[in-house]
Structure 1
Amino acid sequence: MSQDQSDKGTSLSLEQILAQAEQDQSVETDYQSGFVAVIGRPNVGKSTIMNEMLGQKLSITSHKPQTTRHRIHGIHTTAEHQIVYVDTPGMHLGGKKSINDYMNRTANSAFADVDVILFVVEAGRWTKEDNAVAKKLQNTEQPILLIVNKVDKFANKEELFPFIEEIAKEVEFTALVPISAYKKINLPAVEQEILKFLPKQNAIFPEDYVTDRSTRFLAAEIIREKLMRTLGDEVPYGATVEIEQFMFDEDEGRWIIHALILVERPGQKQIVIGKGGQVIKKIGTQARKDLNNLLDARVHLELWVKVKENWSDDARALASLGYNDNYSS
């Protein structure tokens, strides 16, 4: 991504884009476009599925649940159609903090004003959280495509029949597509099913948009991904990333990015830094590689760690860090 493209998606707000698109729909067309919500419990593969459908990495991923914390639009545009995937946090139970409320509220909001819902489940595994998502879908009018992910774990696919029959008792789905996002199995079938239900209308977003999120936001997400992948189970859930400086240095011909990793306890700070600064150095090295690809230029990245006690259970702190409904930052 070049310098002049770095804030693609931020020149117009989402509301302005949708208002313009609504005006354009008065013209008859064979073109198809619409919104597709990708929902399910945490760690079921939603972000991986969206990235594969887009053909590029947009949402961050890790093996840890609740990696996705925000709603992200990924825009796939061809000459015949535009599919706007809405990746959401996993709907989860048990979390009592303000950030858990925010993530569940964000996931629930994806139901509104979409044309198709992809309900993603893991092959052979049904949990209380899956059941909670299914209950949310019971009164939904939109077509529901049941996406059974990770089917590569089953050599004999007939073993999945009883599992699918049980799901059918919980939620009425329009179509079922077995896939493996990680091994790229049967993904074209997902798009084929989506297009059966996508309305005929002009493109919602300009054809060169890949997301409605700013590059500054994506940079923070990349750093948080490396944080989650590098550290153990305790720290990532008490950590977030705030970009303090994000600028292109014309003289140096590179991006200057200063980011703050916020944690909730002094002990977490020591873990993030690591002995002799080795952990934070590793996080920075890995993040810099992805940032180079994102920005299509050299990147100078500096990371600091700061303790901000109880930030994940403080509504005001969450809003200041971008955990709110105004997600254009």
Structure 2
Amino acid sequence: MTDEPVTRSGFVGILGRPNVGKSTLMNHLLGQKLSITSRKPQTTRYQLLGIHTVEQDQMVFVDTPGLHTEEPRALNRYMNREATTALRDVDVVVFVVDRDLWNEGDANVLERFSHLQCPVLAVINKVDQMPDTDQLLPHIEWLSQQYPFTEIVPVSALRSRNLDRLESAIRSHLPEGPHHFGDDDLTNRSSRFLAAEMIREKITRQLGAELPYTMAVEIETFEQEGNTLHINGLILVERQGQKKIVIGDKGSRLRQIGQESRLDMESLFGSKVMLRLWVKVRKGWADDERALRSLGYGDQGR
């Protein structure tokens, strides 16, 4: 009689300051786009689970908002809480830094998990963008002096370089036990949530610095009728001027946002999508804890 293979499963917290490539890293480890990305800091607002099962091992990645030192608004405080609560039950921490660009934000994140007893892997991301690769080894040595990292792995998440080594390192530190989710599951989030995030990504990428990050998307309708998925999305901004920016000249920008979002949705949901978008001004929502809750912030099942 042969022995049953040992199964391992664990939660892997992906942490780092804003804009170091945490979401891109998780997407490439999953082999599928799940978490939204853009060049704009603070694109990720929610704690998002990405489930990746390889043979007997299940890695449950926790993509978190980037930790930042200032909390001037309710939305900022919410995002920091999301990132901090991700640490409560993780089995492995992946601490992501941007090349050799260490700053106060990195030190702040490091302080947040310095009390943890679980393995902490440092990931030096975007190494393909380092102007002088001779600086990599000295930086690895310097990082090793900042914290007793279990391992330091240089990668390029965007180009999928050295991710196999990182995945092997993560798997080797997973605790033995049954899988937390089904082997075919991709995330714990609902399809409505993923649809809203896809729309928000397109807005963020389209507008860049033109629109503050205080913009939200609410899915009002999500219904399957035959072979077509009907989705109505409401884009919330704080001022009338922002509404005009999102809509664009004669609605051109809003149409482009809708077209790009629809293509991503059809790819992920495997269905034809009929998407309708509206823009509405809701003043002060990013400063209002109650408004944040009404938009699903803090609701992990959203």
Question: If the TM-score is normalised by the length of the shorter chain, which range does it land in?
Answer: over 0.9
Q: CA distance change for structure 1 residues 149 and 30 in 2, over 3 Å: closer, same or farther?
A: same
Partner of residue 182 from structure 1, selected from 144, 150, 158: 158
TM-score by length of 1: 0.88
Unpaired stretches in structure 2, ≥5 consecutive residues: none
Tell me, in whole angstroms, the C-alpha distance in 2 between the residues paired with 1:88 and 1:232.
21
Deviation at residue 120 of structure 1 after TM alignment: 0.2
Q: CA distance change for structure 1 residues 100 and 155 in 2, over 3 Å: closer, same or farther?
A: closer
What's the % identity of the aligned pairs? 48
With 168-177 and 217-226 compared, the bigger mean Cα shift is at: 168-177
Alpha carbons 1:131, 1:170 under 8 Å: kept: no
Deviation at residue 50 of structure 1 after TM alignment: 0.5
Alpha carbons 1:29, 1:201 under 8 Å: kept: no
Please say if 1:283 is aligned against 2:257.
Answer: yes
Deviation at residue 163 of structure 1 after TM alignment: 2.7
Please say if 1:327 is aligned against 2:292.
Answer: no
Alpha carbons 2:99, 2:127 under 8 Å: kept: yes
Q: Report the residue type matching 1:31 in the other structure.
A: T
Q: Report the residue type matching 1:220 in the other structure.
A: A
Unpaired stretches in structure 1, ≥5 consecutive residues: 1-27
Deviation at residue 160 of structure 1 after TM alignment: 2.1
Deviation at residue 156 of structure 1 after TM alignment: 4.9
Q: 1:1-329 residue pairs with structure 2 within 5 A?
A: 30-154=6-130, 156-250=132-226, 253-324=227-298, 326-329=299-302
Instruction: Please report the RMSD computed on the Cα atoms of aligned residues, expressed in angstroms.
Output: 1.4
Name the residue aligned to 1:23: none
Tell me, in whole angstroms, the C-alpha distance in 2 between the residues paired with 1:191 and 1:64.
27
Q: Report the residue type matching 2:228 in the other structure.
A: R
Q: Report the residue type matching 2:260 in the other structure.
A: Q
Deviation at residue 277 of structure 1 after TM alignment: 0.6
TM-score by length of 2: 0.96
Alpha carbons 2:95, 2:122 under 8 Å: kept: yes
What is the aligned length? 299
Q: Structure 1, residues 94-149: CA drift from partner, whole Å, max 9, x if none?
A: 24100000000100111111110000001110111111001112211111000000
Q: Report the residue type matching 1:140 in the other structure.
A: L
Tell me, in whole angstroms, the C-alpha distance in 1 between the residues paired with 2:147 and 2:290.
37
After TM superposition, which residue ranges in structure 1, 4 or more long, deviate above 4 angstroms? none
Tell me, in whole angstroms, the C-alpha distance in 2 between the residues paired with 1:103 and 1:179.
26
Q: Structure 1, residues 175-197: CA drift from partner, whole Å, max 9, x if none?
A: 01000001111000011111221
